[in-house]
Every structure is written in structure tokens, then in C-alpha cells.
Structure 1
Amino acid sequence: MHIINHVADRRKALGLTQEELAARVGVTRRTIISLEKGHYTPSLMLAFLLADALKVDITVLFQLWR
């Protein structure tokens, strides 16, 4: 099992750059890039911060894939 994220889709829908999203949640652009490529699974705190910044429920932004 692994986690699928919809960060890139949601970020683009809101017209945000990776840099803008990174600044909103207090991480580097590199972290956002790694996350969007599926190379990084965020901590629970970061997942909540991302969901808040992207104005979506955490369960919509991150889903468990079997």
C-alpha cells in the first residue's frame, strides 16, 4: 500500500506555484517537488498544513492506494 496525493492537481487548480505553496506551509520548493512526484510522504502535520493551504479536506488530498 502507498499514499496517493493530489497536491499538484489542487495547487494548479488554485493557480499557485510550487514556490508559493512551499512558502504557505513553511517548506522548500524542493519538498513540494518531491511530494508531487510521489518521492516523499509528508508528516501528518505537513499533510494538514497542505490541506489547509489548498482549501481541501485532508482525505481528498491524500488517499491510501492498495
Structure 2
Amino acid sequence: MEHKLGETFTWNGHTLEVAEVEDPEKACSGCWFFEHSISCYGKGLDCMDDSRRDHTNVIFKNSTKIEKL
């Protein structure tokens, strides 16, 4: 399932936010999965531009957003 840019979602108890890649030369830099040595491939997490509808390379960051009640 493709998550949209800016969207937050929960994956195995972790709240993650979809963000655009900051440095195309280091596409996975800053990605929560990369930093925790977890492969995102095959988990339904589309991050590469050629697999996304918006054709944007993204990373998944630990979210600091707070939900309003």
C-alpha cells in the first residue's frame, strides 16, 4: 500500500511519516528502516520513484506529529 507524502502511519507500533528524500545521492539516508537495518522491500512500503504514483523517492521518518483529540 502506497503512503502519500506527508502521511503518518503506524508500522509494528512505530509511528512513521512519509518524507521526500533529502539527498538523491544517499536515497536511504534518514530513513527509519535503513537506520534500524530493516529491509522495507516486500513489506508493501513503496519508497522508490518508479514504484510510486507520484514518482517521488521517499523515506520513512519517526513521526513527531501529535494527533488532535
Kindly name which structure, 1 or 2, has the bigger radius of gyration based on alpha carbons: 2
TM-score, normalisation: structure 1? 0.30
Answer 1 or 2: which has greater strand percent. Answer: 2
Q: Tell me the TM-score normalized by structure 2.
A: 0.29
More helix by share: 1
